[in-house]
Every structure is written in C-alpha cells, then in structure tokens.
Amino acid sequence: MTIASDSAVPAQAASFGTAVPQPVEIRAFGGPVGAEVLGLDLSQPLAAEDFARIHRAHLDHHVLVFRDQRITPEQQIAFSRRFGPLQIHVLHQFQLPGHPEVLVVSNIVENGKPIGLGDAGHFWHSDLSYKEKPSLGSLLHAQELPGEGGDTLFANMHLAWDTLPAHLRNAVEGRVAEHTYLAKYAELQKRSPWRPNLSAEQIAEVKPVVHPIVRTHPETGRKALFVSEHFTTRVIGLPEDESKQLLEEIFAHSVRPEHLYRHVWAECDMVFWDNRSLMHLAAGTPDHLRRKLYRTTIEGDVPF
C-alpha cells in the first residue's frame, strides 16, 4: 500500500515537469465530499507541482469539479492517462468515434439510433466494480446539458463505513461479495433503448468477480464499503435470504443524506471522482431534453 503525499504522485506526471505552473485554487464544498478546482486550464500542459496538488486534492475530497474546461477529447484522454492506464467500456457501441477510451453518456437519438448510453448511472454504483481491477476514478466532461435535471449524486463510502452500525460491521467485516455487470442488465433493457444485446465476446469481458465488502484505499489506507445496488449480487457464504437482507441494509445506510453530494452541472464542467471511495447515481433527465457527456475511466488495483 502506498500512502500518497504531495511528493508521491503517479509516475505518469514525471514527464510534464517543464510546464508553467497555473494559478490553481482548490475550494472545498464544505459537505461530506467534493471540491472545485478554479484557475486551471487543462488545455495547457500541467506542471508537476499543479498535478501534485490535484492528485492530493482528489484523495482528500474524492470528487473534484474542474470548472469551465474547454478541452478536446484528446486533452481529456491525455489528462486522464496521467493517473494510470485507461479502461475501455464493454459497450463499444457507444465509444466516441476515433476515441475508444471515451464512453459517450447521452440520451440523444440521431437517425433512429442512440449516440450514447442514455441510462448510465440509473442505479447506485462504483464504475467497473465488476472487473478484476475496478476503476481508480472516472472523469465526465459536459458537452451538452439540459435546461433542467441531469444532476449526479455521489455517496461517500468512507463515511458510510465509519458510521456503519456495529451489528452490520460485525456482519460484513472479512466477507466478500460477488459483482457482475449483468446483475440488472435485463431489467434496464426492458425499460429503455440504451442497452443493446451483448455478444458472446462482450459477455466474456464481464464475468462475475469477487471483492471484499470493506476495501482499503490503496493510496490513503482508509476503509470504505465496496458494494452497490447495481453490480453487487450476493454475499459469498451466506444463505440467499440473509445475503439479500444484509446488502439491502448496507445500501440503505450508504446513501443516507448526510453522506451525499449532489452535483448540479454547469457548462464545460469536468468532474473527476474516486471510485475507490464513492458510489454515484444519475438523478435523471427529462426525455425531451438533450444531455451529452464524455467519460474516461482510469484502471485501478485489485481491491484488498
């Protein structure tokens, strides 16, 4: 385990040390999670000292909101890669043309076909928890926003663990649970046009995996709950009814109001969240209003 400090940043930052520092201000929101980053232009090369501040702030606040980022997909990809390798989403149908690293999150339909994943985030989840190496973090950049709706909610899973009642702590500590991408796929297919039938190759990409219910953050050492209503299907070693009840109690506790931050999107916002620390949920957009965002996802470590 590596505990991060201002001098311990991902190796990807090293080659950018000659860039000119920018007047970066990091302003915490004052709630259970989140901070905004002001004065930073990600279309410009990022100095090593600025990157170190961003990295530290991401660990401290779990959600960073970069305001007014008028950047290209290539620039979003380049910034994301400084934190680690990028992961390609299994729904290749919704990749940004020419940029497989970018998942288009959108409710827009053109020529009778959806251009992106319109129901992304319908259930509380941590991105790619169904992979052997779940996501370190995700970056979502606003391209087109609706006049109402479209908010994103984040739940602090460190706080959820810290405040978990003793009987639930005793029930989950040391246990593991199964995660699978297919857990609610059929249900989502029935309610919207956004979920295509998966090929055999796609299904092979998302085989069920098992992760600790309580994971340790690999950079800070803090514990967090690591289960979600979207992808976690069962607690290994418990009867089905006991597993279901336990997971429902954990889910309900995790999303208590005091654990949440609601992000109201502004033009050209880019939001970068830590999937090792949080769950998130799309609050929904009225069907007649257009919404489009670009998502990149950074590969993390095997949870422990």
DSSP symbols for 142-166: EEE--SS---EEEEEHHHHHHT--H
Average pLDDT over every residue of 199-208: 93
Residues belonging to the chain: 304
Catalytic residue (choose from 122, 195, 280, 291): 280
- Condensed to tens digits (0 to 9), the pLDDT of residues 105-159 reads 999 999 888 999 988 889 999 999 999 999 999 999 999 999 999 999 999 999 9
Average pLDDT over every residue of 189-201: 84
Range of the domain at 78: 11-299
- The answer to the question of residue 304 being in a domain is no
Instruction: Give the count of domains, the chain.
Output: 1
- Condensed to tens digits (0 to 9), the pLDDT of residues 16-40 reads 447 899 999 999 998 999 999 999 9
% of the chain at pLDDT higher than 90: 85
Question: What residues contact 164, with CB distance under 8 A and at least 6 apart?
Answer: 172, 225, 250, 253
Catalytic residue (choose from 50, 119, 127, 269): 127
- The answer to the question of residue 284 being in a domain is yes
Q: Does the annotation mark 122 as catalytic?
A: no
- The answer to the question of residue 97 being in a domain is yes
- Determine the straight-line distance between the first and last CA of the chain, rounded to whole angstroms: 10
- The answer to the question of residue 4 being in a domain is no
State how far the Cα of 21 lies from the Cα of 220, in Å rounded to an integer.
26
Q: What is the CATH number of the domain that holds 111?
A: 3.60.130.10
Q: Does the annotation mark 280 as catalytic?
A: yes
- The answer to the question of residue 3 being in a domain is no
State how far the Cα of 217 lies from the Cα of 225, in Å rounded to an integer.
10
- The answer to the question of residue 107 being in a domain is yes
Across 232-247, b (16+ Cβ under 10 Å) vs e yields bbbbeebeeeebeebb
Catalytic residue (choose from 82, 125, 158, 230): 125
Q: Mapping DSSP to helix (H, G, I), strand (E, B) and coil, where does residue 269 land?
A: coil
CB count in 10 Å sphere of residue 261? 21
Give Cα separations from 154 to 89, 99, 151, 253 (angstroms): 21, 27, 10, 14
Q: Does the annotation mark 127 as catalytic?
A: yes
- The answer to the question of residue 293 being in a domain is yes
Q: What does pTM read for this prediction?
A: 0.91
- The answer to the question of residue 5 being in a domain is no
Q: Supply the pLDDT for residue 8.
A: 44
State how far the Cα of 280 lies from the Cα of 266, in Å rounded to an integer.
18
